[in-house]
A and B are shown apart, each in its own frame.
Chain A
Amino acid sequence: MTFDRTKVLALARGTLVLLAFLFAGNAVSALLRLPIPGSVVGMVMLAASLHFRVVRPEWVRPAADVLIAHMSLLFIPAGVGVMAYAGLLRREWLPLVAAGVVGMLAVLLVVGVLQQRMERRG
């Protein structure tokens, strides 16, 4: 990794814009008591701002690309956190695991197959 000054500045600017949208999304989600988290509201607000040219893509792209490419890394601590609830999981592990696996597969198949079928028809 090279520490090119313009690259670092572009990353910093992108990060600030993303944080601003996260903050705004959190505020909207709290004020309107929306059942979806501020980050998802911020995602929609960012897409809308890009669409209406309030925000230029090059302002956010450098930071957005890095965060999206390494999203898996960001889930690692939460995944390790499952170990903190190992006790809870152990108590009724079979219904929990079975319900989790069946539910996941059912949603995956229903959404994937239904969506593809409707796209072909429409």
Chain B
Amino acid sequence: MADTLAAALAIAVTVATYVAARRLYARHRHPLLNPLLVAITALIALLYAAGIDYAEYDRGGRLISFWLGPAVVALGVPLHAQLHEIVRRGRAMLVSILAGSVVGIVSGTAMALLLGASRQVVLTVAPRSVTTPIAMGIARELGGIPPLAAALVISTGVLGAVAGPAVLRLAQVRSRTAWGLAMGAAAHGIGTARAVEEGEAEGATSGLAIGLMGLVTALLAPPVMALLLRVLSVR
């Protein structure tokens, strides 16, 4: 009974924080006031202040997380509506994602190696660009640290949702399908949650990018990392 009440409270507080963060964003429209970023920060601060550990909060939290599954399935609706536009650009999308996947694996791991990261951390960084369950699976297979991979995927995803639109504007990416594809490839589901705010074309390509990026990276990460580690002779 107490557990049920605690779970209900966690859900209520999370939803209330989300609603308040959205109102704040609607009023000021500053990218740093991204509702997801504000809500996460506020809740972490609240849990620390109240001395509640994450496992306790997550009893309610996971009942919210559960709906991510159906929400990703729901992206099938914009995907269907945009199918014609996507098929027309299908080959270009495959090439972009292939390039993005290799660049994602190599740039992240190279940076980590340069800064003297341990082998385990380097292998954890490799699958950063893909959605959490896939990243954890790849990290496990490579010999990295799965929960750390999840934390990295989520925090850089939030960064992508916050800074991505400004970066794409600077790079003069105006095509809506390219915009969505880039957000989904770089920031997976969290980037997609931001992309759906722009419109159907952005949302659909972003959702598609999660799947393509996950598939390509799962196939490429093991051989690319083996090659990279051998070339750089990392112990």
Contact = CB atoms under 8 A, between A and B. Distances in A.
Interface in A59-101: 60-61, 63-65, 67-85, 88-89, 92, 94-96, 98-101
A101 B115 contact: no
Contact of A67 (B17, B70, B91, B128): B70
B142 interface: no
Given A43-B211, A102-B107, A109 B77 contact: no
A115 B196 contact: no
A112 B179 contact: yes
Interface string A105-119: 111111111111011
Contacts of A80: 40, 43-44, 47, 54, 57, 61
A113 B179 CA distance: 9
Given A74-B67, A88-B148, A111 B97 contact: yes
B214 A36 contact: yes
Contact of B117 (A70, A99, A105): A99
B152 to A, nearest CB: 5
Given A72-B35, A81-B58, A110-B100, A42 B147 contact: no
Interface residues of A, number: 76
Interface of B is mostly: helix
15 contacts: A42-B73, A43-B207, A47-B83, A67-B71, A73-B39, A74-B64, A76-B14, A80-B44, A80-B47, A85-B148, A102-B107, A109-B171, A111-B182, A116-B173, A119-B175
Interface of A: 15, 18-19, 21-22, 25, 34-40, 42-47, 49-51, 57, 60-61, 63-65, 67-85, 88-89, 92, 94-96, 98-116, 118-120, 122
Interface of B: 14-15, 17-18, 35-36, 39-40, 43-44, 47-48, 53-55, 57-58, 61-62, 64-65, 67-80, 83, 89, 91-93, 95-97, 99-101, 103-104, 107-109, 111-112, 115-118, 121, 124-125, 128-129, 131-134, 137, 145, 147-148, 150-152, 154-161, 164, 167-168, 171, 173-175, 177-179, 181-183, 185-187, 189-190, 192-194, 196, 203, 207, 209-211, 214-215, 218-219
